[in-house]
């Protein structure tokens, strides 16, 4: 009896040792693959000249008693944002994911300091993790009278053990004097001014208060000092609606917004995203739309700023292409927009990518717009961007090299994390 027990214990020990070695080998293979991709990407980027991409300024579009102006070139956006900050008379809410310490970042910092010095209340939010590489003396250039809230690197106490408290603040908002508000994909920095293709929007009118409320809710939830009063007047707009992901409350309406809109589509779904790592339900929704005759097109970067995300996105390509979805790869620049337009009536502009981090992890904000004029402008932008894309066909995809297939397989277990 003792001999049999000893043999069973020995076999269990051997199995555990084999499992540990297998897991270690798989992880080592994945890390080596990631390392190789990062080296390759670094060599690819080295001495690569800046490339121009198509863009055109857009006039404001009247919507619901106000207007919407859509930006696709950072220099145009930053000049208007700075002009609004410089004209502020009462209050500024400024929220960003990345805030570089370069010339553009310093211009924004100085504009906020100047506003504070002329008596404007200034409130600032930025993400700690996203700005770890930014010299901390840059932020120390903000005087004490400017109220600053850093989204924490980690949440302390018992909340640390709950994934719902691990989300980053990926939002980009600016609200000035309750009369103008900006939201979209642009971070603050020189690269975003002229090297990245992104989309942002400026809102004037009743919907400004909804974006203002989004800032206030976040500020108060995370204990910003001093607490901010809720906007006195909210709105029930038929044309526009703000959707906010609130990870701490496990509320993620942006994913549902997309799925509902795609499910309603009758003629076209044109979507642009920086990182395409959708869950199965999202892929199924796109494929089902294509199968019922909807023109489904996705614009993604040919090469993004995160090469691992590029390879993780490839796992869904065959299913999308074989289902009739068209994949257009943006060339010569990083497309960082988070937008969609459907059926010539529905559009969204915001901060959420089509990946797990944005749709089920991070603090995000998207504006949903039901207006044919805005949709027409969004379609014009999509058409312009499409001219800077190469289309990936199913035939081309199925003929990709074996090493590419192996790399995709090695990295695929990481998809649920991103």
The predicted-structure confidence for 309-363, as pLDDT tens digits, reads as follows 777 888 899 999 999 999 999 999 999 999 999 999 999 999 999 999 999 999 9
Answer whether the bond into residue 96 is a cis peptide, omega within 30°.
no
Looking at the structure, tell me whether residues 264 and 352 fall in a common domain: yes
- Which residue range is the domain that position 35 belongs to? 1-48
User: For residue 412, what pLDDT is reported?
Assistant: 64
Write out pLDDT tens, residues 152-178: 887 766 665 566 667 899 999 999 999
Looking at the structure, tell me whether residues 67 and 175 fall in a common domain: yes
Closest by Cα among 273, 316, 314 to 297: 273
- C-alpha 230/C-alpha 33 separation (Å) is 49
Tell me the mean pLDDT in the region 75-82.
98
Length of the chain: 418
Looking at the structure, tell me whether residues 19 and 119 fall in a common domain: no
Taken in order 255, 170, 376, 382, the sign of the CA dihedral is negative
Q: Judge whether 265 and 289 are in contact, CB under 8 Å.
A: yes
Looking at the structure, tell me whether residues 232 and 258 fall in a common domain: no
Looking at the structure, tell me whether residues 28 and 106 fall in a common domain: no
Q: Is residue 56 domain-resident? A: no
Total domain count for the chain?
Answer: 3
Intra-chain end-to-end CA distance of the chain, in Å? 50
E strand residue ranges, 263-413: 268-272, 295-301, 326-330, 334-335, 339-342, 346-350, 364-370, 389-392
Looking at the structure, tell me whether residues 253 and 365 fall in a common domain: yes
pLDDT at residue 113 is higher than 80: yes
Looking at 195, 214, 239, the residue that finishes a domain is 239
Closest by Cα among 390, 379, 400 to 327: 390
Q: Is residue 65 domain-resident? A: yes
Looking at the structure, tell me whether residues 253 and 192 fall in a common domain: no
- C-alpha 23/C-alpha 17 separation (Å) is 10
User: For residue 404, what pLDDT is reported?
Assistant: 65
Average pLDDT, the chain: 88
Element (H, E) at 150: strand 147-151
In CATH, what number is assigned to the domain containing residue 98? 3.30.870.10
Looking at the structure, tell me whether residues 190 and 209 fall in a common domain: yes
pLDDT at residue 136 is higher than 50: yes
Looking at 239, 272, 292, the residue that finishes a domain is 239
- DSSP assignment of 260-303 equals HHHHH-SSEEEEE-S-B---HHHHHHHHHHHHTT-EEEEEEESS
Q: Is residue 314 domain-resident? A: yes
- C-alpha 191/C-alpha 195 separation (Å) is 5
Distances (CA, A) of 394 to 80, 216, 269, 321, 365: 42, 47, 19, 6, 34
Looking at the structure, tell me whether residues 277 and 201 fall in a common domain: no
User: For residue 51, what pLDDT is reported?
Assistant: 72
Within 10 A of 351 (CB to CB), how many other CB atoms are there? Answer: 29
Where is pLDDT greater, at 132 or 24? 132
Looking at the structure, tell me whether residues 277 and 363 fall in a common domain: yes
Looking at the structure, tell me whether residues 227 and 252 fall in a common domain: no
Looking at the structure, tell me whether residues 200 and 346 fall in a common domain: no
Looking at 191, 221, 239, the residue that finishes a domain is 239
Q: Is residue 55 domain-resident? A: no
pLDDT at residue 37 is higher than 50: no
């Amino acid at each position: 009896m003792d001999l049999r027990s000893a043999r069973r214990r020995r076999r269990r020990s051997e199995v555990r040792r084999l499992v540990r070695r297998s897991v270690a080998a798989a992880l080592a293979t994945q890390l080596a693959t990631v390392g190789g991709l990062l080296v390759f990407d670094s060599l690819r980027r080295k001495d690569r000249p800046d490339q121009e991409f198509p863009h055109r300024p857009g006039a404001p579009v009247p919507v619901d008693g106000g207007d919407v102006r859509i930006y696709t070139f950072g220099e145009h956006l930053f000049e208007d944002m700075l002009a609004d900050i410089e004209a502020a008379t009462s209050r500024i809410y400024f929220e960003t994911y990345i805030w570089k310490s370069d010339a553009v970042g310093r211009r924004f910092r100085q504009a906020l300091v100047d506003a504070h010095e002329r008596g404007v209340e200034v409130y600032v939010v930025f993400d700690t993790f996203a700005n770890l590489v930014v010299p901390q003396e840059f932020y120390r250039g903000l005087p004490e009278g400017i109220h600053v809230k850093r989204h924490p690197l980690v949440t302390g106490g018992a909340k640390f053990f709950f994934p719902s408290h691990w989300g980053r603040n990926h939002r980009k908002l600016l609200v000035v004097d309750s009369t103008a508000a900006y939201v979209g994909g642009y971070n603050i920095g020189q690269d975003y001014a002229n090297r990245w293709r992104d989309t942002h929007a400026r809102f004037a009118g009743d919907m400004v208060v909804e974006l203002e409320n989004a800032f206030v809710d976040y500020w108060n939830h995370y204990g910003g000092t001093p607490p901010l009063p809720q906007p006195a007047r909210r709105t029930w707009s038929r044309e526009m609606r703000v959707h906010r992901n609130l990870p701490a409350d496990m509320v993620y309406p942006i994913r549902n917004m997309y799925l509902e809109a795609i499910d309603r589509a009758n003629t076209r779904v044109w979507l642009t995203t920086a990182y395409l790592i959708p869950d199965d339900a999202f892929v199924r929704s796109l494929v089902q739309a294509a199968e019922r005759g909807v023109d489904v097109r996705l614009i993604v970067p040919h090469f993004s700023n995160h090469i691992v995300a590029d390879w993780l996105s490839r796992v869904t390509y065959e299913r999308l292409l074989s289902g009739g979805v068209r994949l257009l790869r943006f060339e010569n620049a990083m497309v960082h927009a988070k937008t969609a337009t459907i059926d010539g009536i529905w559009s969204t502009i915001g901060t959420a990518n089509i990946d797990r981090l944005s749709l089920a992890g991070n603090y995000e904000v998207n504006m949903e717009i039901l207006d044919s004029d805005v949709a027409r402008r969004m379609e014009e932008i999509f058409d312009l961007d499409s001219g800077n894309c190469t289309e990936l066909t199913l035939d081309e995809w199925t003929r990709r090299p074996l090493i590419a297939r192996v790399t995709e397989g090695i990295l695929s277990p990481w998809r649920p994390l991103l």
